[in-house]
């Protein structure tokens, strides 16, 4: 694999659903490259196709046409088995509603992906405790999700997503169920992780404040990319509005 | 995912709905309890019967002559023997290897009127030979000698009398010993009024109650010969039955076809035991079917529970699939869970079936002691094989019941499952 090739490459990606008799184009010809170590936010109104794009990148769904490459794997054509292994070893999912297993303690939840990968008990317990320490929950390892706050639950979920050392994190509204302060803490922590571990992250949100943390913001509308903003452009835009506000 | 992880996951999942899990496994418990109880009864009774038969002697072979079919005119006459057991046959069998003993027997016809005459007194009495093996049931106590010997000697002219016969002649037990060595007479009477007297010397008195005179084979043959007016009856009609005692059970089993090929009717206790085994197998299967029916209903309960539990956990299944669980992982996880319900029911069912058996054994023992029946032993026996097979069966029922729900869970689309509320 060449060094300069992007981590994710989408080529005329389309996904069609049939709702009753009508066909709905959730994605309609998307071309997108995401570089290694990049933090990309997908924004747009509901029905714009941002979640569909995330699911396609995550291998939870298959495109109706077009191609979606992650490293050397074309997800549309890959076998079910390859997709399962891809999801387990190369990506980490972070959900809006955390999706922790309610009967398992924090550390056991973090262990689940390691268990699925077939690691032995001792090694995965060590790894899980280490990860919980890194998200600042070392002391809450034995607690059940019902005994944790929303922010703590999302930290556990982040630790879980990192368990198998993936290259790519996929987050679907990770702060959607959190208050703004906790959400900001979570985003800061994610940003920190991306920088220190060199991870790539694709994040879906409708909140521009959240999206403002990203290196690039992809605006989607009706299944198509409307425009792509880089951080630099956005900072300029922000400066402009700040001036405008100051004048007003 | 390793098997150990699967099992501990299944256990923790079952643990979160304890009441439902227990209620579901009750069906399995009832089914396995029924099967274990019924089969253990079958095993116990079979062991008991085997024991009783072994006491009689499984190494014996019973030979009787082949008889011609009776028609309308001969249906009330004594059957004609197409292949009588002649003295030379008996002598030949005695020479066979692996034969320990050959006892030939002659039965007097039922119509023979016989009387015992001591001094001036006479008393109706039955004539028989040595106590035949089949005459002894497992439930009778063996007779003992009250005076002299109760083994009828081979020597002609000797007689063993029973206590019952003497009591009818008003002879007290303390006089029995004085009777040994004394002469007595047996008087046979033909329907036409002719009588024939046979003289004997008493050699012993047995404790039996039924008035019987035991006389040697030669005398019985002579009596029968007089009755049918054929002095050479042994040479023409032969013996009525012969018991061959082989050295081992295996040797007895070899003798059966061999003698049958010579044209005689042959039976052995092994054959009767086989028949009893077949009957018990049929009864066992019938009784176990009741348990089987309970298990069928129980398996539907397991299916229901698993479908409900999968519905409740749809989101979890979606999450697991999203973070890298394969269809196989999910399927196996739920099948193990269903199998665990079966296994648990099986364990409890076997333990309670075993306990019930112990309890019933006690009750039966109490009844036997009260009624003073001459049987001992356990009628409900749970063997390790029975326990193991029922355990496997219970687990298998669970796994089979889990097949459909587990496949449903495995086929769930992760995206749909994750959206499930």
Task: Write the pLDDT tens digit of every residue in A47-100.
Answer: 899 999 999 999 999 999 999 999 889 999 999 999 999 999 999 999 999 999
Cβ–Cβ below 8 Å for B414 and A80: no
CA atoms of A43 and A39, how far apart (whole Å): 13
CA distance A185 to chain B (A): 24
- Residue A6's nearest CA partner among A70, A93, A90 is A70
Which of A103, A117, A160 shows the shortest C-beta gap to B16? A103
Contacts of B401 (CB under 8 A, 6+ apart): B299, B300, B302, B303, B306, B338, B342
User: Cβ of B2 under 8 Å from any chain A Cβ?
Assistant: yes
Beta bridge partners of residue B91, listed in sequence order:
none
SS3 B125: coil
Element at B104 (helix H, strand E): strand B99-105
Cβ–Cβ below 8 Å for A160 and B415: no
State residue A194 phi and psi, 5-degree precision.
Answer: -60, -45
User: Cβ of B351 under 8 Å from any chain A Cβ?
Assistant: no
Of A181-190, B29-38, B257-266, B326-335, the range with the lowest mean pLDDT is: B257-266
pLDDT in tens, B21-38: 999 999 999 999 999 998
B132 — pLDDT class (breaks 50, 70, 90): very low
CA atoms of B215 and B238, how far apart (whole Å): 18
Cβ–Cβ below 8 Å for B12 and A61: no
Contacts of B304 (CB under 8 A, 6+ apart): B24
User: In chain A, what residues touch B12 (CB-CB under 8 Å)?
Assistant: 103-104
> 3-state secondary structure string, chain A?
CCCCCCCEEEEEEEEEEEECCEEEEEEEEEEEEECCCCEEEEECCCCCCHHHHHHHHCCCCCCCEEEEEECCEECCCCCHHHHHHHHHHCEEEECCCCCCCCCCCHHHHHHHHHHHCCCCHHHHHHHHHHHHHHCCCHHHCCCCHHHCCHHHHHHHHHHHHCCCCCCEEEEECCCCCCCHHHHHHHHHHHHHHHHHHCCEEEEECCCHHHHCCCCEEEEEECCEEEEEEEHHHHHHHHHHHHHHHHHC
Tokens 């059940």, residue located: A144
CA atoms of B71 and B39, how far apart (whole Å): 46
CA atoms of A122 and B407, how far apart (whole Å): 31
User: In chain A, what residues touch B320 (CB-CB under 8 Å)?
Assistant: 112, 116
The dihedral formed by the CA atoms of B7, B12, B18 and B20, expressed in degrees to the nearest 10:
-60
Which of B2, B316, B327 shows the shortest C-beta gap to A118? B2
- Residue B313's nearest CA partner among B334, B298, B327 is B334
CA distance B394 to chain A (A): 27
What is the CA angle A222-A225-A227, rounded to 5?
A: 125
Averaged confidence pLDDT in chain B:
85
Cβ–Cβ below 8 Å for A116 and B1: yes
- Residue A11's nearest CA partner among A60, A61, A52, A70 is A70
Give the A:B interface size as CB pairs under 8 Å: 59
CA distance B27 to chain A (A): 27
Q: Provide, rounded to the nearest whole percent, the portion of chain A with pLDDT above 70.
A: 93
B197 — pLDDT class (breaks 50, 70, 90): confident
Averaged confidence pLDDT in chain A:
90
pLDDT at B227 > cutoff 60: yes
pLDDT at B163: 84
pLDDT in tens, B272-312: 778 878 888 888 888 888 888 989 999 999 999 999 999 99
Q: Please state, as a whole number, how many other Cβ atoms lie within 10 Å of the Cβ of residue B64.
A: 16
Q: Please state, as a whole number, how many other Cβ atoms lie within 10 Å of the Cβ of residue A178.
A: 21
Q: How does DSSP assign B210-271, residue by residue?
A: S-EEE--HHHHHHHHHHHTT-TTHHHHT-BSEEEEEESSHHHHHHHHHHHHHTT-EEEEHHH
């Amino acid at each position: 694999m060449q060094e300069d090739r992007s981590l994710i490459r989408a080529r005329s990606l389309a996904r069609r659903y049939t709702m009753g008799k009508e066909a709905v184009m959730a994605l309609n010809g998307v071309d997108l490259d995401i570089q290694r170590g990049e933090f990309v936010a997908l924004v747009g109104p509901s029905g714009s196709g941002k979640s569909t794009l995330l699911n396609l990148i995550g291998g939870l769904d298959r495109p109706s046409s077009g191609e979606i490459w992650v490293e050397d794997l074309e997800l549309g054509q890959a076998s079910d088995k390859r997709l399962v292994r891809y999801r387990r070893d190369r990506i980490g999912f972070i959900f809006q509603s955390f999706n922790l297993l309610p009967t398992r303690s924090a550390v056991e939840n973090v262990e689940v992906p390691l268990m699925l990968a077939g690691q032995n008990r001792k090694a995965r317990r060590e790894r899980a405790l280490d990860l919980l320490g890194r998200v600042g929950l070392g002391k809450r390892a034995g607690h059940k999700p019902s005994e944790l706050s929303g922010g703590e639950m999302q930290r556990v979920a982040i630790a879980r997503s990192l368990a198998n050392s993936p290259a790519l994190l996929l987050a679907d509204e990770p702060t959607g169920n959190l208050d703004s302060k906790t959400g900001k803490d979570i985003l800061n922590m994610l940003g920190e992780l991306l920088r220190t571990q060199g991870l790539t992250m694709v994040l879906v949100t409708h909140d521009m404040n959240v999206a403002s943390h990203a290196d690039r913001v992809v605006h989607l509308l009706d299944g198509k990319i409307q425009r792509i903003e880089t951080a630099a452009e956005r900072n300029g835009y922000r400066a402009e509005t700040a001036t405008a506000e100051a004048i007003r | 995912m390793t098997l150990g992880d699967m099992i501990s996951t299944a256990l923790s999942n079952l643990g979160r709905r304890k009441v439902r899990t227990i209620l579901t496994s009750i069906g399995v418990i009832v089914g396995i309890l029924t099967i274990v109880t019924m089969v253990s009864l079958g095993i116990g009774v079979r062991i008991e019967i085997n024991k009783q038969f072994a006491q009689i002697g499984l190494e014996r072979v019973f030979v009787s002559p082949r008889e011609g079919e009776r028609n309308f005119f001969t249906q009330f006459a004594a059957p004609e023997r197409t292949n009588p057991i002649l003295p030379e046959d008996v002598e030949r069998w005695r020479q066979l290897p692996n034969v320990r003993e050959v006892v030939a027997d002659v039965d007097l016809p039922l119509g023979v009127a016989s009387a015992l005459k001591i001094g001036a007194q006479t008393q109706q009495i039955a004539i028989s030979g040595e106590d035949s093996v089949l005459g002894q049931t497992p439930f009778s106590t063996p007779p003992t000698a009250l005076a002299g010997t109760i083994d009828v000697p081979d020597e002609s002219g000797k007689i063993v009398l029973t206590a019952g016969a003497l009591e009818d002649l008003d002879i007290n037990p303390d006089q029995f010993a004085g009777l040994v060595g004394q002469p007595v007479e047996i008087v046979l009477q033909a329907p036409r009024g002719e009588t024939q007297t046979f003289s004997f010397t008493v050699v012993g008195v047995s404790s039996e109650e039924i008035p019987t005179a035991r006389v040697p084979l030669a005398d019985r043959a002579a009596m029968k010969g007089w009755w049918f007016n054929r002095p050479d009856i042994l040479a023409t009609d032969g013996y009525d039955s012969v018991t061959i005692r082989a050295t081992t059970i295996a040797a007895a089993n070899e003798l059966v076809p061999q003698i049958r090929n010579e044209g005689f009717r042959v039976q052995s206790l092994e054959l009767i035991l086989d028949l009893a085994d077949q009957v018990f197998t049929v009864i066992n299967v019938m009784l176990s079917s009741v348990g089987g029916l309970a298990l069928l209903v129980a398996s539907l309960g397991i299916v229901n529970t698993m479908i409900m539990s999968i519905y409740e956990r749809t989101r979890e299944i979606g999450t697991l699939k999203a973070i890298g669980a394969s269809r196989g992982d999910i399927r196996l996880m739920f099948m193990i869970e269903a199998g665990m319900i079966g296994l648990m029911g099986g364990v409890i069912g076997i333990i309670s079936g075993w306990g019930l058996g112990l309890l019933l054994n006690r009750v039966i023992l109490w009844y036997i002691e009260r009624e003073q029946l001459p049987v001992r032993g356990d009628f409900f026996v749970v063997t390790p094989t029975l326990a193991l097979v029922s355990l496997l069966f219970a687990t298998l029922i669970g796994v089979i019941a889990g097949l459909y729900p587990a496949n449903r869970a495995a086929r769930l689309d992760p995206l749909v499952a994750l959206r499930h509320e």
